[in-house]
Amino acid sequence: MKEQEGPGGPPKPKRAGFGGRPASSSSSSEESGEDGGEPQEPAEELLADDATIDLVADRAKAGVDEVLAELDRELVGLLPVKQRISEIAALLLVDRARRRFGLESERPNLHMSFTGSPGTGKTTVAMRMASLLHRLGYLRRGHLVAVTRDDLVGQYVGHTAPKTKDVVKRAMGGLLFIDEAYYLYRPENERDYGQESIEILLQVMENDRDDLVVVLAGYADRMDVFFKSNPGMSSRVGHHLDFPEYDVKELLDISGLILAKQNFRLDPEAEPVLRDYLTRRREQPRFANARSVRNALERARLRQARRLVTAEGDVSKDDLVTLIADDFLGSRVFDGEPDDESDTDAAGRPAEESAEEPVKESAGG
């Protein structure tokens, strides 16, 4: 299980009188976040009926613009996803504004499903979403707890409920991200413990929706099947975000972002080679979109290092930052095979976490 504060450190809570309805559940009160935020806060004074609210200023003040701009800057493509996030932000701003006039309504349903192929940015966007919801006052802590079936489901009778409840408790006040959620449901084994976990999650998604946002992630087709067999889950999800595969141009842009961040650059002659590499890699098995780009660059760095260390003569700063065509041409992708270290393992899961991903935390401690 991975736990992660929102990017850019924990933002200041901005929830006075806004979305921060008192949490209704008993379990959430045990988990006062490290920002010391007890869920209950005195409601802000109601506005008079003839008052007005400057939503644009509100948006800026809550840091919504900042999160959206960052999302736009740091994530290539994903237009439908970005648009949807901005719509959700608008919905919540209006909801907050209504609340300030005392206009009661149910809190918008914020549980979501993120569907798409590996490496399309689901986990990354979930982290941004947690931060956004925190800034808007809909999440107390705004952290992300990322889990898979193994973190939720036990091995023997009586093991699953405490496991799932422990995860839920850790996620309270934040976003619970369940990767490959469909593995919770195994109809072929009628005594599978996954069902027990689903039941608990269903309850929590209903009763604790003021203090926890659940995101179910995975491949679109398997998620479809999962939702069809679990209508309770389906009906609790308010927003479906679909993450499209990246085209070659987007993959190149992603490599540009990654390289710039790490103080590398491509030799002009390496550019068409990388394009060719990505065009080929995209058609091969176990392609994992942006993650494959990251891995390709890692391997090019290895070849660069080997090249520089074995080269005669001194090495300049320019040499150290430049990846040349040969650094890519050494790849087996050009022999029609995926690179030796594949981007995902046999089960189609990522082979390794990139340095940028949330820090691993043991599920027990």
Residues that bind ligand ATP (CB under 6 A): 75-78, 116, 118-124, 179, 254, 257, 288, 290-291, 294, 350, 354, 356
Pick the closer one to ligand ATP by CB: 62 or 176. 176
Pick the closer one to ligand ATP by CB: 175 or 324. 175
Residue showing the smallest CB distance to Mg ion in the complex: 123
> Rounded to a whole number, what is the distance in angstroms from the first to the last CA of the chain?
10
Pick the closer one to Mg ion by CB: 123 or 131. 123
Which region among 7-15, 68-76, 123-131, 223-231 touches Mg ion (by CB under 5 A)?
123-131
Which region among 120-128, 160-168, 201-209, 297-305 touches Mg ion (by CB under 5 A)?
120-128
Pick the closer one to ligand ATP by CB: 185 or 246. 246
Minimal distance, residue 216 CB to Mg ion, in Å: 12
Which region among 122-130, 202-210, 227-235, 288-296 touches Mg ion (by CB under 5 A)?
122-130
Residue 119 near which of ligand ATP, Mg ion, none (CB within 5-8 Å, type-dependent): ligand ATP
Minimal distance, residue 345 CB to ligand ATP, in Å: 11
Cα dihedral: 260, 265, 266, 267 (round 10) = 160
Pick the closer one to Mg ion by CB: 64 or 215. 215
Minimal distance, residue 338 CB to ligand ATP, in Å: 16
Pick the closer one to ligand ATP by CB: 47 or 75. 75
Residue 15 near which of Mg ion, ligand ATP, none (CB within 5-8 Å, type-dependent): none
Minimal distance, residue 113 CB to ligand ATP, in Å: 13
d(CA 272, CA 267): 10
Q: Candidates 123, 131, 295, 331: give the one binding Mg ion (CB under 5 A).
A: 123
Long-range contacts (CB closer than 8 Å, 24 or more residues apart) made by 73-77: 74/257, 75/121, 75/124, 75/125, 76/246, 76/250, 76/253, 76/254, 76/257, 76/290, 77/244, 77/246, 77/250, 77/253
Minimal distance, residue 349 CB to ligand ATP, in Å: 7
Q: Give residues in contact with Mg ion (CB under 5 A).
A: 123
